[in-house]
Amino acid sequence: MSRPPGRKQENHKISRELFVLTYGALVAQLCKDYEKDEDVNICLDRMGYGIGIRLIDDFLARSAVKKCRSYSETVDMIAQVAFKMYLGVTASVSCSSAAGNEFSLILDKNPLVDFVEELPAERASLCYCNLLCGVIRGALEMVHLAAEVTFLQDRLKGDAVTEIGITFLRKAEDRKHRRN
């Protein structure tokens, strides 16, 4: 039996929509479980970190990418390949430091908020998509790149774009292994 053309694309869209709806239910439950937004943000980051440390193996196997030689190559790989592979979107990248260790990923469209209109007024400090920060941080750590990952702007909070900041915590030359 043959499959009708376009069937795989349709299943992928259904899977993404199911993930987005499930994610929304998860955040709603965490908001019920925790009174403080900061506790929800921490929980989402921890969950994302756990996903990221496991997801990197799948990413490396499926994408067949070569080793990145710089922080900018790494961030470009996240923006162009990883986001496309797992979220179906690409992000633009900007470097915000002369040292070349601080970058911003700018998402014009964030699929995790497809079914969210706005955050409730009492949840103003909630970082709804903080799971993404944890995923990126966990995946980077598994390839031996310590980084701080935070939301800088969020459309759900009235900003023009969704912006994720990545700051690599070590200088590029610190990553080289030297024999004594």
Compute the mean pLDDT over every residue in the chain, rounded to the nearest whole number. 87
Residue 45 belongs to domain spanning: 16-114+126-168
62, 85 Cβ separation under 8 angstroms = yes
Tokens (6 digits) for 12: 């992928």
Predicted confidence at residue 147, as pLDDT, reads 97
Picking from 53, 98, 107, the residue whose alpha carbon sits closest to that of residue 71 is 98
pLDDT tens, 106-140? 999 898 998 888 888 899 999 999 999 999 999 99
In a domain, 32, yes or no: yes
The domain that contains 37 carries what CATH number? 3.30.1380.20
Phi, psi of 2, deg, nearest 5? -105, 155
Sign of CA dihedral 41, 46, 85, 77: positive
85, 71 Cβ separation under 8 angstroms = no
- Number of domains composing the chain: 1
In a domain, 5, yes or no: no
In a domain, 121, yes or no: no
Question: Crossing angle of helices 37-63/130-142, nearest 10°?
Answer: 50
In a domain, 77, yes or no: yes
pLDDT tens, 35-61? 999 999 999 999 999 999 999 999 999
Predicted confidence at residue 119, as pLDDT, reads 86
In a domain, 177, yes or no: no
Alpha carbon 57 to its chain centroid, in Å, reads 16
In a domain, 157, yes or no: yes
In a domain, 119, yes or no: no
